[in-house]
A and B are shown apart, each in its own frame.
Chain A
Amino acid sequence: MDIIIVGNGKVGFSLAEQLVKESHNVNVVDLREDPLRRAGDLLDVMTIRGNGVSAVTLREAGADVADLLIAATSSDEVNMVCCLTAKSLGTKYTIARIRNHEYTSSLAELRRNLKIDMVINPESATAVEISRLLRFPAAANIETFCRGRVELIGFRLQEGDFLAGKPLHALSDQIKSMPLLFCAADRGGEVYIPNGSFVPQVGDQMYLIGQPSALDKFFILLGRYSPKVKQVLLVGGGKISLYLAHILDKLGMRLKIIERDPDSCRLISEKFPRAMVICGDGTDSELLESENLTAYDAFVALTDRDEDNLIISLYAIQQGLHKVVAKCNRQNYTGIVRSLGLDSVISPKFITASHILHVVRGLQNSQGSVMNSLHRIADGHAEAMEFTVGPSTRHLGVPLRDLHLRSGILVAVIVRGKEIIIPEGSSCLMENDLVIIIARKSGLSDLNDIYEPEFSFPGTGNIE
């Protein structure tokens, strides 16, 4: 597809990177020379210097024939105008990043009048993600499918867990009878799709999929079930904190927010009368101690600086807090802090990119099965996708054991009406089923892609 990305900031760059990997034609537009040079040097994209609201620049970038335009500059207003202009030039689908809290109330009208097909709000999406983690503290990360009826949970195996050191088929019958499936395992950056003989080891990041109630039971058995989070300490009072406070407030959690800037503190205090707002440096351990850090159930670090967030989160873990979440946009730090025990690292840039990739894949297969959602797990090394089985899907009603699936693909869950099925060899796909697929490599856009090509020519062989 021909894709234009306006604004080559953090989100713009990581999007371009992922889209180039999936072999789309990407044009990057930016006002400044430096980010453009960086994009041109590191990625196989075309760069155009100019203002994204100008029709001349957009036409130069090919907006008249483009399939998709993503406006991700730092200004909401520029993004909106950019989408409007592109649409009138002939771009088929437009996505705008709009993050100002004030616009959220009138978003529907804005979208209709400005002909924006999709609005993304990284800060709000991140807040939703964090709130999910706080609701289910045992998980390092958590994704939901089928409107919350199925959850995918990632957790790290610790010393003494009964899972570690023996193959999965040797687990007790009680666990085997639960409607749960180990769908992926991440061992030092290498992703495995486990079968019965897979032996989990201490330190592996395991991904478990199933009904939320069954997952609860499993974590109780594992001795990992921690009490519900009631008190949360937030450090940093930026946009994400505001969105998060909004959600947590509704859930009835008690909040304490530490923010350095007095004006921001006043603003937060105006909006959330029930929250306690402290004006001070949240990276100062003295302050954290005097605010009784250890008494909290959960700690969330959301300051502007990735490094600060990671360091104070590690400090909180050292102080014995059960649930610690840090915001960090840089992917390369995640591995380092994970080895120090900090599992829940949230990257707004990564979340946004996943949302947009889902849209791009959806646009790619306009007919065929519908992709309802896409989540990237294991630091982007694997993907979990939910599809609706359509009439064009092949091999309906054929037992899975008779099908040739591609390697690195797992049919994890089938949802048929009210029933949630963990597939066995005899299970089959039916029309209107919801099905969740785990794939080790990216690029799947249609449900039919999970099958091994039926006629493989000599020489072309396996795409793997």
Chain B
Amino acid sequence: MNWKLVFKVLGRVELVVMAAMTLPLACALLYREDPTPFLYSMGIIACISLPLSFLPTKSSSFFLREGFATVGLIWLFTGVVGGLPFFFDGGGGFNTIWDCIFEASSGFTTTGATILTDIESLPQGILLWRAFTHWLGGMGILVLATALLPSMGIRSHYLAQAESPGPVFSKLVPKQSQTSKILYSIYCVMTAVEVALLKLAGMPFYDALVHSFSTAGTGGFSNRAASVGAYDSAVIDIIIGVFCLLFSINFALYFLVLQKRIWEALKSDELRFFLIVVALATVAIAVDILPQYGSILQSLRYSFFQVASIISTTGFATADYVLWPQTAQYILILLMFCGACAGSTGGGVKCSRMLLLLRAIRREIHQIAHPRSVEVVRLDGKVVDEGTLRSVLVFVGCYILVLFGAGFIVSLDDVTFDVSFSAALTCLSNVGPGLAEIGPVGSFAAFSPLSKAVLSVTMIAGRLELFPILVLLTPSICRKY
């Protein structure tokens, strides 16, 4: 393990995070608020990162192991330093350092779970920073870093590989730095379009910015206590719902569209699976909640928004779904597990993994009926090699184990099963709200510091797809031999 180089990269990347704080700082100055929380935080980050980024390194060996460990460390560290502005602000519900770490981890991992109870009392700068962490974490801090600092002197694709969600890592163009630039360009343009549409739909510019950052990262932080429901506008619901779905589609497909290969993009198995799941869930929930809302259009509106918000793992709410019938809530839990498409900003197990899992199960059943049959699993018409398939199965298994493990630790707080299980699932899948007390109008404030710490790590593990964090926990990476 080349720790010196790992920490050097860590230092460089944290400088990017520090630079990102200038946006909320400017906002705070604009609204004539106290800028000191940001100034202190930037000072502290600079004190730590600058010496690290100039660490002299003897060896430049940087392999997958270093890549995974770097990514894991960077995200854990970012969760801490990202919480510094909340700590220095101290308002709302930021009582302990654990609250701040939880909130920042929830932000960067695009979860959107909050420990705040009185959101609207916080300064605008802090609220913008919360939403902006979603935007940064959505596409990835390291993807941004590889776009901005192409020559970190390491094989940067190892970093992007560890950070990008999905069963297989693929680049758009041969160079990693170029790939990152293309991804961020698409991301920025889509965010800008959403801001413009929301503004046109009558949202104030500041709110439009906050909600666009949240939607783009599929996070879910809002600057209103009632989330998107506060605007009570069907147009805004539809814009945000559609953008949630757009941001949870594989960005490689947008690149295909830009290359005028729209037909190829539409033929993607994962995209079709995703859209079918969205359509089925929307109709099923709409039927289920029809008695509550009366009109079919109303129930479709609320059902569509909630499905889009949950499957994209955003976590906005226009209605308190905890009051909906049990079936509807159960469907939402299933959507939380399934999650968005690979290569998007969303979380969860990912649709492509679910699809591969289902196809592997079908093959296994075939094999029982015809023990000598030889069959390959395909995705988009291409054969999926057995190694990838195995890693998908291991991933899903691991996901379930981590889910139950984290749920157990939360249950030490003596909460109901609804709460402990949905807290673990919503954090691991980076959704945000859970069931019962931690539903769309609830908050995570009541949990013990231990639960908050464990859930913070769970969120980061979910965002990085488990292995970068699990690697950090194995002793073999510390040994020299």
Q: Give 6 A-B contacts (CB < 8 Å), ordered by A residue.
A: A25-B173, A25-B175, A26-B174, A43-B155, A44-B155, A45-B174
Our pick among A33, A41, A42, A44 for the contact of B174 (Cβ within 8 Å) is A44
B176 touches A44 (CB 8 A): yes
**In whole angstroms, how far apart are the Cα atoms of A431 and B173 in the complex?**
41
Question: Is B378 on the interface with A (CB-CB < 8 A)?
Answer: no
Task: Give the B-binding residues of A (Cβ under 8 A).
Answer: 23, 25-27, 33, 40-46
Most B CB within 10 A of own CB, among A25, A27, A33, A46: A46
Question: Is B478 on the interface with A (CB-CB < 8 A)?
Answer: no
Question: Is B385 on the interface with A (CB-CB < 8 A)?
Answer: yes
Q: With a CB–CB cut-off of 8 A, which chain B residues contact A44?
A: 155-157, 174-176
Q: How far is the CB of A367 from chain B (nearest CB, A)?
A: 26
Size class of the contact patch on chain B: 10 to 19
**In whole angstroms, how far apart are the Cα atoms of A42 and B173 in the complex?**
16
Our pick among A23, A42, A46 for the contact of B171 (Cβ within 8 Å) is A46
B173 touches A46 (CB 8 A): yes
Q: How far is the CB of B162 from chain A (nearest CB, A)?
A: 12
Residues of B150-165 whose CB lies within 8 A of A: 155-158
- Taken residue by residue from 168 to 180, chain B's Cβ proximity to chain A (1 for < 8 Å, 0 otherwise) reads as 0001011110100
Question: Is B296 on the interface with A (CB-CB < 8 A)?
Answer: no
A27 touches B155 (CB 8 A): no
B173 touches A41 (CB 8 A): no
**In whole angstroms, how far apart are the Cα atoms of A33 and B131 in the complex?**
41
Number of A-B contacts (CB under 8 A): 24
Question: Is B64 on the interface with A (CB-CB < 8 A)?
Answer: yes
Q: A25-B178, A27-B174 are in contact. List 8 more A-B contacts (CB 8 A).
A: A23-B175, A25-B173, A25-B175, A26-B174, A41-B158, A44-B157, A44-B174, A46-B174
**In whole angstroms, how far apart are the Cα atoms of A33 and B155 in the complex?**
21
Q: How far is the CB of B174 from chain A (nearest CB, A)?
A: 4
**In whole angstroms, how far apart are the Cα atoms of A199 and B176 in the complex?**
44
A25 touches B174 (CB 8 A): yes
Q: With a CB–CB cut-off of 8 A, which chain A residues contact B64?
A: 41
Q: How far is the CB of B71 from chain A (nearest CB, A)?
A: 15
**In whole angstroms, how far apart are the Cα atoms of A33 and B389 in the complex?**
14
Q: With a CB–CB cut-off of 8 A, which chain B residues contact A33?
A: 385, 387
Q: With a CB–CB cut-off of 8 A, which chain B residues contact A23?
A: 175
Our pick among A26, A42, A46 for the contact of B155 (Cβ within 8 Å) is A42
Q: How far is the CB of A413 from chain B (nearest CB, A)?
A: 34
Q: How far is the CB of B231 from chain A (nearest CB, A)?
A: 44
**In whole angstroms, how far apart are the Cα atoms of A45 and B64 in the complex?**
16
Q: How far is the CB of A59 from chain B (nearest CB, A)?
A: 11
Q: Who on chain B is nearest to A46 by CB? A: B174
Q: How far is the CB of A70 from chain B (nearest CB, A)?
A: 14
Q: With a CB–CB cut-off of 8 A, which chain A residues contact B174?
A: 25-27, 44-46
**In whole angstroms, how far apart are the Cα atoms of A33 and B64 in the complex?**
18
**In whole angstroms, how far apart are the Cα atoms of A365 and B387 in the complex?**
44
Most B CB within 10 A of own CB, among A25, A42, A43, A44: A44
Most A CB within 10 A of own CB, among B155, B157, B158, B387: B157
Q: Who on chain B is nearest to A27 by CB? A: B174
**In whole angstroms, how far apart are the Cα atoms of A83 and B34 in the complex?**
66
- Taken residue by residue from 396 to 413, chain B's Cβ proximity to chain A (1 for < 8 Å, 0 otherwise) reads as 000000000000000000
Most B CB within 10 A of own CB, among A26, A27, A42: A42
Q: How far is the CB of A170 from chain B (nearest CB, A)?
A: 36
**In whole angstroms, how far apart are the Cα atoms of A33 and B385 in the complex?**
9
Q: With a CB–CB cut-off of 8 A, which chain B residues contact A25?
A: 173-175, 178
Residues of B164-213 whose CB lies within 8 A of A: 171, 173-176, 178
**In whole angstroms, how far apart are the Cα atoms of A40 and B170 in the complex?**
10
Q: How far is the CB of B2 from chain A (nearest CB, A)?
A: 16
**In whole angstroms, how far apart are the Cα atoms of A43 and B171 in the complex?**
12
Residues of B61-77 whose CB lies within 8 A of A: 64
Q: Who on chain A is nearest to B388 by CB? A: A33
Q: With a CB–CB cut-off of 8 A, which chain B residues contact A26?
A: 174
Q: With a CB–CB cut-off of 8 A, which chain B residues contact A42?
A: 155
**In whole angstroms, how far apart are the Cα atoms of A45 and B176 in the complex?**
8
**In whole angstroms, how far apart are the Cα atoms of A42 and B387 in the complex?**
19
**In whole angstroms, how far apart are the Cα atoms of A25 and B157 in the complex?**
14
Q: Who on chain B is nearest to A33 by CB? A: B385
Most A CB within 10 A of own CB, among B155, B171, B174, B175: B174
Q: With a CB–CB cut-off of 8 A, which chain B residues contact A27?
A: 174
Q: How far is the CB of A18 from chain B (nearest CB, A)?
A: 14
Q: Who on chain A is nearest to B63 by CB? A: A41
Q: How far is the CB of A229 from chain B (nearest CB, A)?
A: 42
Q: Who on chain A is nearest to B157 by CB? A: A44
Q: How far is the CB of A27 from chain B (nearest CB, A)?
A: 6
Q: Who on chain A is nearest to B67 by CB? A: A41
**In whole angstroms, how far apart are the Cα atoms of A45 and B173 in the complex?**
8
Q: With a CB–CB cut-off of 8 A, which chain B residues contact A41?
A: 64, 158
Q: How far is the CB of A67 from chain B (nearest CB, A)?
A: 13
Q: How far is the CB of A392 from chain B (nearest CB, A)?
A: 30
Q: How far is the CB of B332 from chain A (nearest CB, A)?
A: 38
**In whole angstroms, how far apart are the Cα atoms of A344 and B158 in the complex?**
37
**In whole angstroms, how far apart are the Cα atoms of A33 and B176 in the complex?**
20
Q: Who on chain A is nearest to B383 by CB? A: A49
Q: With a CB–CB cut-off of 8 A, which chain A residues contact B158?
A: 41
**In whole angstroms, how far apart are the Cα atoms of A41 and B156 in the complex?**
10
- Taken residue by residue from 108 to 130, chain B's Cβ proximity to chain A (1 for < 8 Å, 0 otherwise) reads as 00000000000000000000000
**In whole angstroms, how far apart are the Cα atoms of A23 and B64 in the complex?**
22
Q: How far is the CB of B17 from chain A (nearest CB, A)?
A: 24
**In whole angstroms, how far apart are the Cα atoms of A40 and B385 in the complex?**
16
Q: Who on chain A is nearest to B169 by CB? A: A40
